[in-house]
C-alpha cells in the first residue's frame, strides 16, 4: 500500500543550472495547491544529513522564477555516499516528518536518490537540472536552453572581433562527455567547424576543413570545441597545432567556463521547470517513486532512475550533417 504523503522536501544537488529556482517554485506551489506541506532542504544531501530544512509556502518562492542559480544552494556530499551518511539523512527526514522528496540535479544526484530509495523504500522523484543535457529520458534538461542562448550571444560577439582582425577563434564550451551544447551553438552561431566527443574529426581533417574555408574566401573562422573533445589534450594544444601548420591564421582561444551556467533562465526553461515540478509532486501523490520526470515529444513523462542514470543521451546526427553543409 502506498505511503500517505503529507510533507514533501525539495532540494537541489550537484552543479547549478538556470531553471532550478523555477523548479523549486513549481514544487512548492504544487504542494500548496494540493494542501501538502513543503520543506526546502539546503545544500543538497549534505543539508539532508545535517537536517538543514526550512518550511516553505507559496509566498516563500515569490520573485525567484527569473533568477539563475538556486536559493536552496547546492553541495556535493561525500558522506551521503556512505551507508552511515544515508542513515543520518533518513533519521533527519523521519525526525522532520518528511514523507518524500524531490531532487533537482544530474545523474550523480539521481544515483544517490536511487540507492536511498532501495535502502529505505523512501518515495523520491527527480527533476533533471544540468546544462549539459546529458541525461537519458528527456530531450531537454533544465538550463540547457538558457546555456545555448548564452553561448550563442557570446560567440556572436567573438565573431565581430574575429572578422575585424582576420583571426581564427577556438571557443571551448561545456560538454565533458557529450557535445549537445557545442553542436547546437555551432550551428546556431554559424561556426566553421564543431568538435565534439562523439565525432573524432582528427587533426588532419580539421586542417583540411580550415584550408577549405580559407580558400573559399573566409578571412576569419570560429571553431566551437566541446571540453570533452578527443582530438587534442586541450583546446590550447589545438591552437598550437593550427598555428604551426597554418601560419596565415592568427589564432586565439576563448574558454567560456562557468559563465554558461549562470544568468536568468530562458522562457523555455521557466515553462519546462514549471511543468516538471508539478509532474514530480503529483507523481509522488499518485504513489509513484524512483522516477525522473522528463520532456518527451513535448509531453512531460517519467523514466525510472536506473534507466535515466545508465542510459546514454544521443546527439542529433541530422544536425551534425546540417553543420557540415552550412560550413561550406
Per DSSP bridges, beta strands 291-296 and 124-128 are: parallel
Q: Which residues, in sequence order, are CB contacts of 186 under 8 Å at separation 6+? A: 193, 194, 224, 323
- The C-alpha torsion from 308 through 310 and 312 to 313, rounded to 10°, is 20
Angle ∠(309,25,53) on CA atoms, nearest 5: 80
* CA 183 centroid distance within chain: 15
Nearest C-alpha neighbor of 71 from the set 28, 115, 103, 24: 24
Contact 112, 81 (CB under 8 A): yes
**CA torsion angle for 18, 20, 22, 28 (degrees, to 10)?**
-170
Cell numbers standing for residue 173? 564550451
Q: Is 16 a catalytic residue?
A: no
Contact predicate 110/308, CB 8 Å: yes
Q: Which residue in the list 99, 132, 145, 229 is annotated as catalytic? A: 132
Q: Which residues are tagged catalytic?
A: 132
Amino acid at each position: 500500500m502506498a505511503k500517505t504523503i503529507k510533507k514533501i522536501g525539495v532540494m537541489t544537488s550537484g552543479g547549478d543550472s538556470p531553471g532550478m529556482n523555477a523548479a523549486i517554485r513549481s514544487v512548492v506551489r504544487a504542494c500548496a495547491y494540493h494542501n501538502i506541506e513543503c520543506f526546502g532542504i539546503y545544500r543538497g544531501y549534505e543539508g539532508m544529513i545535517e537536517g538543514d530544512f526550512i518550511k516553505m509556502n507559496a509566498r516563500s518562492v515569490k520573485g525567484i522564477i527569473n533568477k539563475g542559480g538556486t536559493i536552496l544552494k547546492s553541495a556535493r556530499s561525500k558522506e551521503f555516499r556512505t551507508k552511515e551518511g544515508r542513515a543520518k539523512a533518513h533519521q533527519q527526514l523521519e525526525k522532520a516528518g518528511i514523507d518524500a522528496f524531490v531532487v533537482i540535479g544530474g545523474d550523480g544526484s539521481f544515483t544517490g536518490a536511487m540507492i536511498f530509495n532501495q535502502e529505505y523504500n523512501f518515495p523520491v522523484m527527480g527533476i533533471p537540472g544540468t546544462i549539459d543535457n546529458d541525461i537519458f529520458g528527456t530531450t531537454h534538461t533544465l538550463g540547457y536552453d538558457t546555456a545555448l542562448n548564452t553561448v550563442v550571444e557570446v560567440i556572436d560577439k567573438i565573431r565581430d572581433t574575429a572578422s575585424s582582425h582576420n583571426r581564427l577563434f577556438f571557443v571551448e564550451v561545456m560538454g565533458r562527455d557529450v557535445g549537445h551544447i557545442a553542436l547546437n551553438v555551432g550551428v546556431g552561431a554559424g561556426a566553421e567547424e564543431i568538435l565534439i566527443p562523439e565525432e573524432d574529426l582528427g587533426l588532419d581533417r580539421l586542417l583540411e576543413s580550415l584550408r577549405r574555408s580559407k580558400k573559399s574566401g573566409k578571412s576569419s573562422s570560429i571553431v566551437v570545441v566541446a571540453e570533452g573533445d578527443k582530438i587534442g589534450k586541450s583546446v590550447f594544444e589545438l591552437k598550437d597545432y593550427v598555428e604551426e601548420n597554418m601560419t596565415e591564421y592568427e589564432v586565439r582561444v576563448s574558454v567560456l567556463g562557468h559563465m554558461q551556467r549562470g544568468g536568468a533562465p530562458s522562457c523555455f526553461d521557466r515553462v519546462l521547470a514549471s511543468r516538471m515540478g508539478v509532474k514530480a509532486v503529483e507523481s509522488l501523490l499518485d504513489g509513484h517513486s524512483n522516477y525522473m520526470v522528463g520532456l518527451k515529444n513535448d509531453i512531460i513523462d517519467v523514466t525510472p532512475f536506473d534507466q535515466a542514470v545508465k542510459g546514454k543521451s544521443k546527439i542529433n546526427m541530422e544536425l551534425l550533417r546540417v553543420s557540415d553543409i552550412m560550413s561550406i
